[in-house]
Chains A and B, each alone.
Chain A
Amino acid sequence: MTGSQKRARVIAVANNKGGVGKTTTSVNLAHGLSRKLLDEQGRATGHVLVIDLDPQGNAADALGLRSVVYDAKTNTDGSCISQLFLGERTLRQVILPAGPDRPNLFLVPASQKLETATHQVVVQAVVSSLTGNDAVPVDQLLEHYFADALPLFDFIIIDCPPKLDTLKKAVYRFAEDVVVPVQAQFLAIRGAQQHTDALLELRKNNIAPNIAMIVPTVVDARQVMAQKVIERLREIYGRSMVSAPIPNRVDIKEAPLSGLTVFEYAPDSDGAAAYQKLVDRIYSDVRQPA
Protein backbone atom coordinates (compact mmCIF):
# COMPACT_ATOMS: atom_id res chain seq x y z
CA MET A 1 0.00 0.00 0.00
CA THR A 2 1.58 3.29 -1.04
CA GLY A 3 1.58 6.40 1.06
CA SER A 4 -0.76 8.14 -1.34
CA GLN A 5 -3.53 5.53 -0.95
CA LYS A 6 -6.50 6.40 1.20
CA ARG A 7 -6.98 4.40 4.35
CA ALA A 8 -10.14 3.60 6.29
CA ARG A 9 -10.53 4.96 9.79
CA VAL A 10 -10.78 1.84 11.96
CA ILE A 11 -12.85 2.19 15.13
CA ALA A 12 -13.29 -0.57 17.69
CA VAL A 13 -16.41 -0.47 19.85
CA ALA A 14 -15.32 -2.25 22.99
CA ASN A 15 -16.00 -2.73 26.66
CA ASN A 16 -15.20 -5.78 28.82
CA LYS A 17 -18.69 -5.63 30.26
CA GLY A 18 -21.53 -7.30 28.42
CA GLY A 19 -24.91 -5.74 27.71
CA VAL A 20 -23.72 -2.13 27.57
CA GLY A 21 -24.80 -1.55 23.99
CA LYS A 22 -21.70 -2.40 21.95
CA THR A 23 -23.57 -3.98 19.05
CA THR A 24 -26.32 -1.37 19.15
CA THR A 25 -23.71 1.38 19.11
CA SER A 26 -21.61 -0.34 16.41
CA VAL A 27 -24.52 -0.84 14.05
CA ASN A 28 -26.13 2.56 14.56
CA LEU A 29 -22.78 4.33 14.37
CA ALA A 30 -21.86 2.47 11.17
CA HIS A 31 -25.21 3.11 9.54
CA GLY A 32 -25.15 6.75 10.59
CA LEU A 33 -21.67 7.21 9.14
CA SER A 34 -22.71 5.52 5.91
CA ARG A 35 -25.70 7.90 5.64
CA LYS A 36 -23.29 10.84 5.84
CA LEU A 37 -21.43 9.34 2.89
CA LEU A 38 -24.41 9.55 0.52
CA ASP A 39 -24.90 12.49 -1.82
CA GLU A 40 -28.24 14.25 -2.39
CA GLN A 41 -29.21 11.66 -4.99
CA GLY A 42 -28.48 8.83 -2.57
CA ARG A 43 -25.30 7.75 -4.32
CA ALA A 44 -22.37 6.59 -2.28
CA THR A 45 -19.47 8.95 -1.86
CA GLY A 46 -17.85 6.55 0.59
CA HIS A 47 -18.38 3.16 2.23
CA VAL A 48 -18.54 1.72 5.74
CA LEU A 49 -17.72 -1.83 6.85
CA VAL A 50 -18.79 -3.48 10.10
CA ILE A 51 -16.66 -6.37 11.35
CA ASP A 52 -18.43 -8.52 13.92
CA LEU A 53 -16.06 -10.30 16.29
CA ASP A 54 -18.72 -11.47 18.72
CA PRO A 55 -19.57 -15.18 18.24
CA GLN A 56 -23.15 -14.32 19.14
CA GLY A 57 -23.30 -12.60 15.76
CA ASN A 58 -25.82 -9.98 16.83
CA ALA A 59 -24.65 -7.39 14.30
CA ALA A 60 -26.22 -9.49 11.56
CA ASP A 61 -29.49 -9.65 13.50
CA ALA A 62 -29.46 -5.90 14.02
CA LEU A 63 -29.16 -5.40 10.26
CA GLY A 64 -31.66 -8.07 9.30
CA LEU A 65 -29.00 -10.26 7.69
CA ARG A 66 -29.29 -13.43 9.81
CA SER A 67 -30.49 -15.50 6.85
CA VAL A 68 -27.15 -15.15 5.05
CA VAL A 69 -24.93 -15.87 8.05
CA TYR A 70 -23.29 -19.25 8.62
CA ASP A 71 -25.07 -21.66 10.94
CA ALA A 72 -23.76 -25.18 11.50
CA LYS A 73 -27.23 -26.66 11.39
CA THR A 74 -29.35 -24.43 9.18
CA ASN A 75 -27.09 -22.54 6.81
CA THR A 76 -23.66 -24.01 6.12
CA ASP A 77 -23.41 -21.89 2.96
CA GLY A 78 -23.67 -18.68 4.96
CA SER A 79 -20.83 -16.27 5.69
CA CYS A 80 -18.76 -15.99 8.85
CA ILE A 81 -15.51 -14.23 9.62
CA SER A 82 -14.14 -17.55 10.86
CA GLN A 83 -14.03 -18.75 7.23
CA LEU A 84 -11.64 -15.91 6.47
CA PHE A 85 -9.36 -16.71 9.40
CA LEU A 86 -9.27 -20.40 8.47
CA GLY A 87 -8.53 -19.70 4.82
CA GLU A 88 -11.82 -21.25 3.69
CA ARG A 89 -13.10 -18.12 1.98
CA THR A 90 -11.70 -14.84 0.72
CA LEU A 91 -12.58 -11.42 2.08
CA ARG A 92 -14.81 -10.80 -0.91
CA GLN A 93 -16.70 -13.99 -0.17
CA VAL A 94 -17.47 -13.17 3.47
CA ILE A 95 -18.47 -9.51 3.03
CA LEU A 96 -22.24 -9.01 2.96
CA PRO A 97 -23.95 -5.92 1.53
CA ALA A 98 -26.34 -4.57 4.14
CA GLY A 99 -29.26 -4.33 1.76
CA PRO A 100 -30.50 -2.11 -1.10
CA ASP A 101 -31.63 0.57 1.36
CA ARG A 102 -28.10 0.82 2.74
CA PRO A 103 -26.07 0.92 -0.49
CA ASN A 104 -22.75 1.78 1.12
CA LEU A 105 -22.89 -0.28 4.29
CA PHE A 106 -21.35 -3.76 4.50
CA LEU A 107 -20.92 -6.43 7.16
CA VAL A 108 -18.50 -9.27 7.83
CA PRO A 109 -20.64 -11.37 10.19
CA ALA A 110 -19.70 -13.73 12.97
CA SER A 111 -21.15 -16.95 14.31
CA GLN A 112 -20.40 -19.52 17.01
CA LYS A 113 -17.83 -20.98 14.65
CA LEU A 114 -15.60 -18.00 15.42
CA GLU A 115 -14.78 -19.39 18.88
CA THR A 116 -13.38 -22.63 17.51
CA ALA A 117 -11.69 -20.85 14.61
CA THR A 118 -9.83 -18.50 16.93
CA HIS A 119 -8.47 -21.39 18.95
CA GLN A 120 -7.47 -23.23 15.78
CA VAL A 121 -5.55 -20.19 14.62
CA VAL A 122 -3.65 -20.14 17.92
CA VAL A 123 -2.68 -23.80 17.53
CA GLN A 124 -1.82 -23.36 13.86
CA ALA A 125 0.52 -20.54 14.79
CA VAL A 126 2.23 -22.80 17.32
CA VAL A 127 2.53 -25.70 14.88
CA SER A 128 3.76 -23.41 12.10
CA SER A 129 6.56 -22.19 14.32
CA LEU A 130 7.66 -25.82 14.52
CA THR A 131 7.07 -26.82 10.91
CA GLY A 132 8.18 -23.60 9.25
CA ASN A 133 4.86 -23.27 7.42
CA ASP A 134 3.36 -19.84 6.96
CA ALA A 135 0.59 -19.11 9.41
CA VAL A 136 -0.73 -15.70 10.31
CA PRO A 137 0.02 -14.89 13.97
CA VAL A 138 -3.15 -14.26 15.98
CA ASP A 139 -2.00 -10.73 16.78
CA GLN A 140 -1.96 -9.89 13.08
CA LEU A 141 -5.19 -11.56 12.00
CA LEU A 142 -7.14 -8.40 11.27
CA GLU A 143 -4.21 -6.48 9.76
CA HIS A 144 -3.54 -9.41 7.46
CA TYR A 145 -7.03 -10.38 6.34
CA PHE A 146 -8.46 -6.89 6.06
CA ALA A 147 -5.48 -5.21 4.43
CA ASP A 148 -7.30 -5.10 1.09
CA ALA A 149 -10.32 -3.45 2.73
CA LEU A 150 -8.41 -0.47 4.09
CA PRO A 151 -8.22 1.52 0.84
CA LEU A 152 -11.79 0.61 -0.13
CA PHE A 153 -13.72 1.83 2.92
CA ASP A 154 -13.91 5.16 4.71
CA PHE A 155 -14.76 3.68 8.10
CA ILE A 156 -14.39 0.19 9.52
CA ILE A 157 -16.32 -0.41 12.73
CA ILE A 158 -15.34 -3.44 14.80
CA ASP A 159 -18.06 -4.81 17.07
CA CYS A 160 -16.05 -6.45 19.85
CA PRO A 161 -17.25 -9.17 22.22
CA PRO A 162 -17.10 -8.59 25.98
CA LYS A 163 -14.35 -11.17 26.31
CA LEU A 164 -11.83 -9.97 23.73
CA ASP A 165 -8.92 -12.03 25.11
CA THR A 166 -7.27 -13.89 22.27
CA LEU A 167 -8.17 -11.27 19.69
CA LYS A 168 -7.37 -8.28 21.87
CA LYS A 169 -4.01 -7.47 20.35
CA ALA A 170 -5.31 -8.19 16.87
CA VAL A 171 -8.07 -5.61 17.36
CA TYR A 172 -5.90 -2.95 18.92
CA ARG A 173 -3.14 -3.34 16.36
CA PHE A 174 -5.73 -2.83 13.60
CA ALA A 175 -7.96 -0.18 15.20
CA GLU A 176 -6.83 3.41 15.57
CA ASP A 177 -9.70 4.53 17.76
CA VAL A 178 -11.80 2.95 20.47
CA VAL A 179 -15.35 3.91 21.36
CA VAL A 180 -16.37 2.66 24.81
CA PRO A 181 -20.10 2.37 25.56
CA VAL A 182 -20.75 2.56 29.30
CA GLN A 183 -24.07 1.94 31.01
CA ALA A 184 -25.13 4.82 33.24
CA GLN A 185 -24.66 2.87 36.47
CA PHE A 186 -22.04 3.47 39.15
CA LEU A 187 -20.83 -0.10 39.07
CA ALA A 188 -20.22 0.23 35.35
CA ILE A 189 -17.79 3.12 35.85
CA ARG A 190 -15.19 0.91 37.50
CA GLY A 191 -15.40 -1.61 34.69
CA ALA A 192 -14.99 1.13 32.12
CA GLN A 193 -11.95 2.49 33.98
CA GLN A 194 -10.39 -0.95 34.09
CA HIS A 195 -11.00 -1.31 30.39
CA THR A 196 -9.52 2.06 29.47
CA ASP A 197 -6.60 1.56 31.89
CA ALA A 198 -5.85 -1.68 30.06
CA LEU A 199 -5.93 0.20 26.75
CA LEU A 200 -3.53 2.81 28.09
CA GLU A 201 -1.26 -0.01 29.25
CA LEU A 202 -1.19 -1.35 25.71
CA ARG A 203 0.18 1.98 24.54
CA LYS A 204 3.33 1.22 26.51
CA ASN A 205 3.83 -1.76 24.22
CA ASN A 206 3.38 0.43 21.17
CA ILE A 207 -0.10 -0.89 20.53
CA ALA A 208 -1.73 2.46 20.72
CA PRO A 209 -5.45 2.73 20.10
CA ASN A 210 -6.76 6.20 20.78
CA ILE A 211 -9.70 6.32 23.20
CA ALA A 212 -11.97 8.35 20.95
CA MET A 213 -15.22 8.50 22.89
CA ILE A 214 -16.95 7.31 26.02
CA VAL A 215 -20.63 6.79 25.26
CA PRO A 216 -23.05 6.70 28.20
CA THR A 217 -25.83 4.30 27.24
CA VAL A 218 -29.21 3.28 28.62
CA VAL A 219 -29.48 6.64 30.33
CA ASP A 220 -32.69 7.37 32.19
CA ALA A 221 -32.69 11.17 32.44
CA ARG A 222 -35.26 11.04 35.25
CA GLN A 223 -32.77 9.36 37.53
CA VAL A 224 -30.40 11.60 39.48
CA MET A 225 -27.94 8.70 39.56
CA ALA A 226 -27.67 8.70 35.78
CA GLN A 227 -26.67 12.36 35.77
CA LYS A 228 -24.15 11.73 38.53
CA VAL A 229 -22.67 8.87 36.56
CA ILE A 230 -22.29 11.07 33.47
CA GLU A 231 -20.65 13.80 35.54
CA ARG A 232 -18.26 11.25 37.01
CA LEU A 233 -17.36 9.99 33.54
CA ARG A 234 -16.64 13.57 32.48
CA GLU A 235 -14.41 14.04 35.51
CA ILE A 236 -12.46 10.90 34.69
CA TYR A 237 -12.11 11.31 30.94
CA GLY A 238 -12.69 15.01 30.28
CA ARG A 239 -15.88 16.59 29.04
CA SER A 240 -14.91 16.47 25.38
CA MET A 241 -14.32 12.71 25.55
CA VAL A 242 -17.82 11.86 26.79
CA SER A 243 -20.53 11.91 24.16
CA ALA A 244 -24.10 13.05 24.60
CA PRO A 245 -25.91 10.26 26.47
CA ILE A 246 -27.89 7.62 24.62
CA PRO A 247 -31.28 7.50 26.33
CA ASN A 248 -32.99 4.38 27.55
CA ARG A 249 -35.62 4.13 24.85
CA VAL A 250 -37.82 1.31 23.66
CA ASP A 251 -37.17 2.28 20.03
CA ILE A 252 -33.46 1.56 20.39
CA LYS A 253 -34.18 -1.87 21.89
CA GLU A 254 -36.93 -2.79 19.43
CA ALA A 255 -35.17 -1.78 16.23
CA PRO A 256 -32.93 -4.91 16.07
CA LEU A 257 -36.01 -7.13 16.35
CA SER A 258 -37.05 -5.76 12.97
CA GLY A 259 -33.54 -5.95 11.56
CA LEU A 260 -33.41 -2.17 11.38
CA THR A 261 -31.21 0.52 12.80
CA VAL A 262 -32.78 3.21 14.97
CA PHE A 263 -32.53 5.64 12.02
CA GLU A 264 -34.82 3.36 10.03
CA TYR A 265 -37.09 2.10 12.81
CA ALA A 266 -37.79 5.38 14.56
CA PRO A 267 -36.12 8.20 12.65
CA ASP A 268 -37.81 10.96 14.65
CA SER A 269 -37.17 9.44 18.06
CA ASP A 270 -34.91 10.63 20.88
CA GLY A 271 -32.82 7.52 20.36
CA ALA A 272 -32.20 8.35 16.72
CA ALA A 273 -31.35 11.94 17.63
CA ALA A 274 -28.89 10.79 20.29
CA TYR A 275 -27.13 8.39 17.95
CA GLN A 276 -27.06 11.08 15.26
CA LYS A 277 -25.16 13.33 17.67
CA LEU A 278 -22.67 10.53 18.25
CA VAL A 279 -22.30 9.99 14.51
CA ASP A 280 -21.73 13.70 13.94
CA ARG A 281 -19.13 13.83 16.73
CA ILE A 282 -17.25 10.79 15.44
CA TYR A 283 -17.43 12.00 11.84
CA SER A 284 -16.01 15.39 12.72
CA ASP A 285 -13.72 14.55 15.65
CA VAL A 286 -12.11 11.36 14.39
CA ARG A 287 -9.51 12.10 11.76
CA GLN A 288 -11.02 11.31 8.41
CA PRO A 289 -9.16 9.70 5.53
CA ALA A 290 -7.51 12.21 3.22
Chain B
Amino acid sequence: MSDNPLDALDELEKQKPRPRPSSKGDNMGELLQAVQPAGDVTEVTKRGKYAKHGQYLQVTFRLPPEYMDAIRDIAKQEHISQASLKRWLVGIGLQEYRKGRRPKVKEVVHAAIEIPAVEDDE
Protein backbone atom coordinates (compact mmCIF):
# COMPACT_ATOMS: atom_id res chain seq x y z
CA MET B 1 0.00 0.00 0.00
CA SER B 2 2.69 2.54 -0.90
CA ASP B 3 1.07 4.41 -3.81
CA ASN B 4 -0.40 7.81 -3.03
CA PRO B 5 -3.95 7.11 -1.87
CA LEU B 6 -5.17 10.44 -3.23
CA ASP B 7 -4.13 9.46 -6.75
CA ALA B 8 -5.85 6.11 -6.32
CA LEU B 9 -9.03 7.84 -5.16
CA ASP B 10 -8.86 10.19 -8.16
CA GLU B 11 -8.82 7.18 -10.47
CA LEU B 12 -11.64 5.46 -8.59
CA GLU B 13 -13.85 8.52 -8.60
CA LYS B 14 -13.34 9.22 -12.30
CA GLN B 15 -15.18 5.98 -12.88
CA LYS B 16 -18.11 6.99 -10.68
CA PRO B 17 -20.89 9.51 -11.40
CA ARG B 18 -20.40 12.77 -9.52
CA PRO B 19 -22.78 13.19 -6.58
CA ARG B 20 -25.71 15.50 -7.22
CA PRO B 21 -26.08 18.44 -4.83
CA SER B 22 -28.82 17.60 -2.36
CA SER B 23 -32.14 19.20 -3.25
CA LYS B 24 -34.09 21.23 -0.74
CA GLY B 25 -36.68 18.46 -0.43
CA ASP B 26 -39.54 16.99 -2.37
CA ASN B 27 -42.36 19.49 -2.83
CA MET B 28 -41.64 20.93 0.60
CA GLY B 29 -42.50 24.41 -0.59
CA GLU B 30 -45.88 23.38 -2.00
CA LEU B 31 -46.88 21.50 1.11
CA LEU B 32 -45.72 24.27 3.38
CA GLN B 33 -47.87 26.72 1.47
CA ALA B 34 -50.87 24.52 2.23
CA VAL B 35 -50.01 24.51 5.91
CA GLN B 36 -50.97 27.63 7.78
CA PRO B 37 -48.65 28.83 10.53
CA ALA B 38 -49.99 28.09 14.01
CA GLY B 39 -49.99 31.81 14.69
CA ASP B 40 -53.04 32.21 12.41
CA VAL B 41 -55.09 29.81 14.56
CA THR B 42 -57.19 31.48 17.20
CA GLU B 43 -60.39 29.52 17.93
CA VAL B 44 -60.20 26.43 20.18
CA THR B 45 -63.03 23.90 20.09
CA LYS B 46 -63.34 20.16 20.66
CA ARG B 47 -63.52 17.22 18.27
CA GLY B 48 -64.05 13.94 20.04
CA LYS B 49 -61.23 13.55 22.56
CA TYR B 50 -59.02 16.11 20.80
CA ALA B 51 -58.86 19.84 21.26
CA LYS B 52 -59.23 21.59 17.94
CA HIS B 53 -57.26 24.75 17.26
CA GLY B 54 -58.75 26.32 14.15
CA GLN B 55 -58.20 23.73 11.41
CA TYR B 56 -55.82 21.56 13.48
CA LEU B 57 -56.27 18.93 16.15
CA GLN B 58 -53.94 18.97 19.15
CA VAL B 59 -52.14 15.62 19.15
CA THR B 60 -49.45 14.30 21.47
CA PHE B 61 -47.20 11.37 20.57
CA ARG B 62 -43.65 10.31 21.26
CA LEU B 63 -40.65 10.58 18.99
CA PRO B 64 -37.04 9.41 19.38
CA PRO B 65 -34.73 12.17 20.64
CA GLU B 66 -32.66 12.13 17.44
CA TYR B 67 -35.83 12.82 15.43
CA MET B 68 -36.55 15.87 17.56
CA ASP B 69 -32.96 17.07 17.22
CA ALA B 70 -33.17 16.65 13.44
CA ILE B 71 -36.49 18.48 13.22
CA ARG B 72 -35.13 21.34 15.28
CA ASP B 73 -32.02 21.70 13.12
CA ILE B 74 -33.83 21.38 9.80
CA ALA B 75 -36.49 23.89 10.83
CA LYS B 76 -33.74 26.33 11.74
CA GLN B 77 -31.94 25.72 8.47
CA GLU B 78 -35.09 26.08 6.35
CA HIS B 79 -36.34 29.05 8.40
CA ILE B 80 -39.68 27.41 9.10
CA SER B 81 -41.48 26.48 12.30
CA GLN B 82 -40.95 23.04 13.80
CA ALA B 83 -44.70 22.54 13.86
CA SER B 84 -44.94 23.19 10.10
CA LEU B 85 -42.10 20.83 9.43
CA LYS B 86 -43.70 18.07 11.52
CA ARG B 87 -46.96 18.49 9.60
CA TRP B 88 -45.06 18.29 6.33
CA LEU B 89 -43.24 15.12 7.38
CA VAL B 90 -46.52 13.47 8.36
CA GLY B 91 -48.06 14.66 5.08
CA ILE B 92 -45.22 13.10 3.10
CA GLY B 93 -45.80 9.85 4.97
CA LEU B 94 -49.52 9.90 4.17
CA GLN B 95 -48.79 10.55 0.49
CA GLU B 96 -46.55 7.51 0.41
CA TYR B 97 -49.14 5.39 2.16
CA ARG B 98 -51.69 6.34 -0.50
CA LYS B 99 -49.18 5.31 -3.16
CA GLY B 100 -49.14 1.85 -1.66
CA ARG B 101 -46.28 2.01 0.79
CA ARG B 102 -46.95 0.10 4.00
CA PRO B 103 -45.18 0.07 7.35
CA LYS B 104 -43.45 -3.12 8.42
CA VAL B 105 -45.39 -4.55 11.31
CA LYS B 106 -44.02 -7.20 13.58
CA GLU B 107 -46.06 -9.16 16.07
CA VAL B 108 -45.16 -8.64 19.68
CA VAL B 109 -45.93 -11.48 22.01
CA HIS B 110 -46.64 -10.46 25.55
CA ALA B 111 -46.02 -12.99 28.30
CA ALA B 112 -48.99 -13.40 30.61
CA ILE B 113 -49.08 -15.05 34.00
CA GLU B 114 -51.76 -17.64 34.47
CA ILE B 115 -53.34 -16.77 37.79
CA PRO B 116 -54.27 -19.93 39.68
CA ALA B 117 -57.75 -20.23 41.05
CA VAL B 118 -57.89 -19.87 44.80
CA GLU B 119 -59.82 -22.66 46.50
CA ASP B 120 -62.24 -21.63 49.21
CA ASP B 121 -61.30 -22.68 52.72
CA GLU B 122 -63.91 -25.04 54.13
Contact = CB atoms under 8 A, between A and B. Distances in A.
Given A91-B9, A95-B9, A46 B73 contact: no
Contacts of B116: none
A97 interface: yes
Contacts of B13: 90-92, 148
A10 to B, nearest CB: 14
Given A6-B1, A92-B9, A152-B8, A132 B77 contact: no
A16 to B, nearest CB: 16
Interface in B61-117: 66-67, 69-74, 77, 89, 92-93, 96, 101
Contacts of B2: 43-47
Contacts of A116: 73, 77
Interface residues of B, number: 31
A120 B4 CA distance: 33
B10 interface: yes
Contacts of A122: 66-67, 69-70
A152 B1 contact: yes
B6 interface: yes
B121 to A, nearest CB: 49
Interface stretch (B19-27, B31-39, B47-55): B19-27
Nearest to A124: B22
Given A87-B19, A87-B20, A131-B26, A92 B6 contact: yes
A19 interface: no
Nearest to B76: A116
A45 B16 CA distance: 28
B71 A123 contact: yes
Contact of A153 (B5, B69, B77): B5
B18 interface: yes
B1 A151 contact: yes
A87 B22 contact: yes
B12 interface: yes
Given A46-B1, A46-B2, A88 B70 contact: no
A149 B9 CA distance: 8
A149 B19 contact: no
A283 to B, nearest CB: 15
A251 interface: no
B9 to A, nearest CB: 4
Contacts of A44: 2, 4
Contacts of B67: 122-123, 126
5 contacts: A89-B19, A90-B18, A122-B67, A149-B9, A289-B1
Given A95-B9, A165-B66, 10 more contacts: A44-B2, A92-B6, A92-B13, A106-B6, A116-B73, A122-B70, A127-B92, A130-B92, A149-B5, A153-B1
